[in-house]
């Protein structure tokens, strides 16, 4: 895309965090944005703030784990603007804990339903329209560095690893078909979002949450992760990185390039046939050493 002025972007999980950061960055570039989320009040507040800055914004409440609601989001977006240029499958939640066998089936169903099936539903619902338009279009799928490394939260990591695989396959499929649609994979590190309080949006149909480990080590881990997220990258900076990747038609978007050493560690194990081993994030070992 040589120019963004007047383009239309649909963003899920857009009421806060990375989704809102993308919306802000897109609006700065003159893109019209459709914000979608399950948090109605937060969605309305985000839209009001963007409109106050002069942005053209439309909102649609949708649960991405529900295929029919995502299909309705696609139709509502087309009805509003007549076309779609950018789709950001961004909505995500975190649940579950370690060890993995403590995670409930409700945890698995909720996290996979949003993080993985939300992307699947977005692709299935929007792709026919994007291909039919025959104009340049772009899909951004939000994964995580957790989907490229080992030793993290098993439920969340599994969902994001699946998004990585799906997105890489989708990119290759579209390239083989010389499609007008391109793809980017967003793999953020710590970003200042509300991901650690995702339980606020947990559906009543999946109420059984896994118990929090009560050990001093687990408590230290939780505190450390909370601190890292609170001090994380500004979501607007992430949005601007995504915008640059769309402009350059670049697939991988790494918000924290210094984390690639953890990906390298995993790949070395794989290529050399070694058993899996964790590669602690910077600062983690020091934080945990206090309780060991």
Active site residues: 156
CB atoms within 10 A of CB 114: 26
CA-to-CA separations, 273 to 165, 270, 277, in angstroms, rounded: 21, 5, 12
Q: Are strands 8-12 and 32-37 parallel, antiparallel or unpaired?
A: parallel
CB atoms within 10 A of CB 288: 15
- Torsion sign (Cα): 93, 38, 187, 251: positive
CB atoms within 10 A of CB 136: 17
Assigned token pair, 3: 């120019």
CA distance 129 to 116: 21
Of 28, 83, 92, 82, nearest in space to 56 by CA? 28
Assigned token pair, 188: 């953020």
Whether residue 217 contacts residue 291, with contact meaning beta carbons closer than 8 Å, is answered with: yes
CB atoms within 10 A of CB 145: 21
């Amino acid at each position: 895309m040589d120019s963004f002025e007047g383009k239309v972007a649909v963003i899920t999980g857009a009421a806060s965090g990375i989704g809102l950061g993308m919306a802000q960055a897109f609006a700065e570039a003159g893109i019209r944005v459709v914000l979608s989320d399950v948090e109605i009040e937060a969605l309305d507040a985000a839209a009001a703030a963007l409109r106050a800055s002069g942005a053209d914004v439309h909102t649609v409440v949708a649960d991405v784990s529900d295929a029919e609601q995502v299909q309705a989001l696609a139709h509502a977006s087309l009805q509003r603007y007549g076309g779609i240029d950018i789709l950001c499958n961004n909505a995500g939640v975190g649940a579950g804990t370690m060890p993995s066998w403590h995670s409930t089936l409700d945890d698995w169903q909720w996290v996979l339903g949003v993080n993985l099936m939300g992307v699947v539903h977005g692709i299935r619902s929007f792709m026919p329209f994007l291909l039919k338009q025959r104009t340049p279009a772009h899909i951004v799928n939000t994964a995580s560095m957790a989907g490229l490394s080992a030793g993290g939260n098993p439920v969340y990591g599994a969902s994001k690893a699946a998004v990585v695989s799906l997105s890489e396959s989708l990119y290759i499929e579209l390239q083989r078909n010389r499609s007008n649609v391109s793809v980017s994979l967003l793999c953020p590190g710590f970003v200042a979002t509300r991901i650690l309080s995702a339980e606020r949006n947990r559906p009543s149909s999946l109420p059984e949450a896994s118990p929090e480990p009560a050990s001093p080590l687990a408590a230290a881990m939780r505190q450390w992760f909370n601190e890292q997220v609170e001090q994380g990258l500004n979501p607007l900076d992430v949005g601007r990185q995504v915008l640059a990747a769309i402009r350059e038609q670049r697939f991988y978007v790494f918000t924290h390039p210094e984390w690639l050493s953890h990906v390298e560690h995993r790949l070395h194990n794989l290529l050399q046939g070694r058993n899996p081993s964790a590669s602690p994030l910077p600062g983690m070992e020091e934080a945990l050493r206090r309780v060991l």
